[in-house]
Amino acid sequence: MEIVRTVQALRAQSEDARATGRRVALVPTMGALHDGHLALVALARQRAELVIVSIFVNPTQFGPSEDLASYPRTLDADLARCRAAGVDVVFAPAAAALYPDGAQTFVEVAELAKPLCGGSRPHFFRGVATVVAKLLVAVHPHLAVFGEKDFQQLQVVRRLVRDLLLDVEIVGAPIVREPDGLAMSSRNVHLDPAMRREALALVRALDAAEAAVVAGEREAAVLLETVRKEIGRAPHATIDYADLRDPETLAERATLDGPALLALAVRFPAPRAASGEVRLIDNRVLRCQHDAEDHPR
């Protein structure tokens, strides 16, 4: 496994692979790797001969009061995991490699970045779009793999690629969950045992909404009330958002007349975290029976 620190060295790895007819896959990460990240690597491995993982804590997606300084940096452990997973190249740059002195160019995906996570973190998707664009230009991969847990991010990246005419396939990987159903996240480690149990309210809420759809419910207001009641059973949970949205445009949906994204963001107290709380996200695409038959998961 090669470890590269500069864009020039990264580009050389990709160009050499392309010159010899090998497909190149990129898996962008911010490190603190867990089994969810490794599932992205496994999917990339199935689709390409050269798998590149970037490990970079991107400063432009953190707001002034957010936890950039305390974000977990576990490079040695991450490299060991990458090596065991069969990664070919790890790109682990310093910030200056991607943001040269005086950098003033940013990428924005205007409408898709506004709702959901964009509501409480308006800076976030500009930072994501900018660093992803830089990585895609630097690597020029055939495909890049992103997790569906960050569904809005995935749609922002897909829109970015379409709008900028980038020659890359964006692949969404299914959410990887702990044995009890909690979506895997680097933030889970900040939860104490009591809050870890309360966090299961997210997956219970998704299950309750899906059960209501199976029983025939189609009204967004009813489904979202079901979700809020279920999350409300966790006494320390604070809902950031619980929305039903169009999976492609992220526009609000009043009724379930086709596939709809149920997206959740919930905060829990977490003394281990720098901010004193942890914000967890999760989602599920809800489908009526005829949609499920037409588009099986």
37 a catalytic residue: yes
Per the residue annotation, which of 37, 140, 142, 290 is the catalytic one?
37
- Nearest residue to 217 via CA among 286, 272, 115: 286
Cα torsion for 8, 13, 16, 17, to the nearest 10°?
-140
Q: Report the SS3 class of residue 2.
A: strand
Task: Supply the DSSP string of 207-269, one letter for each residue.
Answer: HHHHHHHHTT--BHHHHHHHHHHHHHTSTT-EEEEEEEE-TTT--B-SB-SS-EEEEEEEEEE
Q: How far is CA 59 from CA 70, 126, 146, 213, 259, in A?
A: 12, 11, 19, 40, 35
Distance CA 204, CA 231 (A): 8
Active-site residues, by number, are 37
